[in-house]
Structure 1
């Protein structure tokens, strides 16, 4: 498997908007991570699944991104876009819209809202979680908020970035406890 590295990376932080808690940890967006694999005709979904698993992000699945604001209070999430493109809204209703396309990876801290606004007919992602955690799916209901805020605070920083491993990436941007 080829070594994966982003051609560029972006970080976004989002304030609590009253419904979506978001996180002081930045969301990381790696652009064009698997350009070499794509050019070699490899199955990008399989490349993502293998790379994430090597770095202890497991429990992977293949699908899209929900078309409504949601977040996970009990785990961080990685999404590797293996086909198509989409405009995602990150950080809840007051957040940031960004276009993602095949080859991009998004690392979403626990509590950070995300949704799909529009997508190509073939848009697909591989998702995974540190150490194979099972995610909850919360939509910003006020009754969920007190417990969700506490759970978000308890989610540990992973030992490995899902793409870059032990060095760099979230290991640089997310301070360890």
Structure 2
């Protein structure tokens, strides 16, 4: 699994938007909404396999794949921010420019590795570190149906905040909204 390094600069759903949707006209629930919004976003990301607003992730690998292709566990991916290899003495070396090619628009996103240009890791475990930016862009760039899925998940958790009555299951409407975005492996 990728290691999250930096969350989104802003959530795709603001507290004001959540309050308007839930018809809350007081400030007593603000702390609850501030907790529910990122939780709902993370749940939608997990259920869809898509990262909503831009975030940074670290991917650790033991070796370069023999196939020359790394399927990334996050999508969409807009950039490879850095790539390093650690040798047996613990010294990190940057992967040369052009040795990794990103195909981030697809799901799963792919990194093509030019095996003739990448140094081999000398460290037995986690000798390769690739940092990527994943997401649709700024919060305003997230597709509207995924924002609606977050909105409905917030409403669901707000209504069932005591944990009873299927609070841990996403409503069918949310699942329908994220269905076109789900990453399916065959």
Shorter-chain TM-score: what band?
under 0.3
Greater per-residue helix proportion: 2
| TM-score for the superposition, normalised by structure 2 | 0.24
Rg: which structure is higher?
2
* Higher strand residue share: 1
